[in-house]
Structure 1
Amino acid sequence: MSGKEKALWYVGALVIVLYALLPVAWIISLSLKAESDLANKSFLPTNATGSNYSGIFSGDGADLFLPALRNSIVVCLISTLIAVVLAMFAAYAIARLEFPGKRLVLTSALAVAVFPVITMVTPLFNLWRQIGLYDTIPGLVIPYLALTLPISIWTMSAFFRGIPWDMEQAAQVDGATSWQAFRKVIVPLAAPGVFTTAIIAFFIAWNDFVFGISLTSTSRAQPVPAALSSFTGSSYFVQPTGAISAAAVIVTIPVVLLALVFQRRIVAGLTNGAVKG
């Protein structure tokens, strides 16, 4: 590319980055403003304060935020682990085996992945209350699998199709069983794809709001996105904007760290999955 074209690409990339980071910067600014400073329309706080952060960790909001943070971590890790393990076996069968309805399975997984979540809430709410899963950790893990498992199957099947079939056959010729060939040959080769799928599934579960607000009501199982809607101000007429902004910043940090630390693995996994299939 010529120098002018490179300059245009850099300018375009800079505009996109600024557009994406502006809401994050605005939330960070709000989280550093005192309650009396929230009416100030300036971007930067007049007197930066950490009272909003101390409030959600040791103040009035700690009893609501800390249990919700724990619930989110537990629920997201469990649902991600189950989704990745189940998707690994399902994707292997789809990529390696021939059976009737294989295309239907992939199509159904994609259809469920884009299915409106709000349509599932009311039936689940009634069913969960009847069988005792309402406001419980398992009552959130199961619906989260409906979000993470279909996209995990769809994504991971592309990675398994990209693995040469000859390598598994060679392991079986050397005396390995089908399970040993899968565990010692296929899984290590598909590790970038499995890791990428796990990160995507974790992000989907971490950001869910509809299931969290509809299927929980107390700190026993309520995740962070739902708990943020329950924050209260110092009085009835005061909006807890600063506390909500501080909690939103804290919740965003794990996602940003995962994306930055494992950026190379995610890109490598997505690239490997796009080679074939």
Structure 2
Amino acid sequence: MDLTAAYGFRMDWIVSFVAVARHGGFSAAAKATFRSQSRISEHIAELEKALGVQLFDRTTHPTGLTPEGRALVPHAEEILNRLNDLASAGGEVRFGTYPSAAAWLFPQVVRRLPAEIRLHLVEGPSIDLEGALGRGDVDLAIRPVHPLVALESLHHEILWTEPLVAVFQDGHPLAAAPEVSLGELAELPLISIGETSGVRQFESHLAFASAGLNPESVFRTNQPQTLLSLVRHGLGTGVTNALAVTTANITGVRLVPISDSGVERQVALFVHRDRPRTPALDQVITAVRAVPPPTWPSG
């Protein structure tokens, strides 16, 4: 085949073909590649049409490779492996994380990497990072364990845990307290980290629920600086994780430990277990693991 003929072949056909061959069926391949089953079938049909051969015997269960399909597998895998080698030679890694972890962790990771590794920061809310990793928009994600991810293909390891803290406006009667209880907080207008609609299990919500309390938040926000500004202007008392506020401007507010929260935020490194790991990604993961966990004021 000359190069002009190769232009007629699309890479996603080859990706779909290898996925069906590896996973033993169209449905499993669709799940592994985050594509619809109809799209996988379309890719295989187009590849078979371009090659002029049948690659899968669709009369068997599970779907089996034809002799032509078996002959093509090692060549298709070699194409994908060469592309992966090309990408890893570039040393680019897309690093997904949420704002407070980006502020604290990302600079420390960059300083531990050789100059030839190019790290691209992709910031977003914790709840969006699962989809970004599933779609392949990022190569790894640093995010809390809660809310729990739904994708079974994501693997995680815990990096650190951090306590919940209350955030009071300067001058509030409880701002000088050595600690505060969930019961005391439940009586106050609260500002929490989370979504403005829908039910998602963030740590602050779990803490109150575990204590049999169901306070209503007057405001919810996914931005620590917004939470602090609302508290600073006297619009409520904040309840959030320690890193979110210790990496931000806390002028005009006081942080007070919660004596009985019973819940800590677990922050983890997430990767996709079914995707190949490049040497550059391995180096970034090693750098992340080398960063000592954050520490917190004693109160």
Q: Same fold (TM over 0.5)?
A: no
Bin for the TM-score computed over the shorter chain? under 0.3
Give 1 or 2 for the bigger CA radius of gyration: 2
TM-score normalised according to structure 2 size = 0.23
Structure showing greater relative contact order (alpha-carbon pairs closer than 8 Å, 6 or more residues apart): 1
User: Higher helix proportion, which one?
Assistant: 1
TM-score normalised according to structure 1 size = 0.25
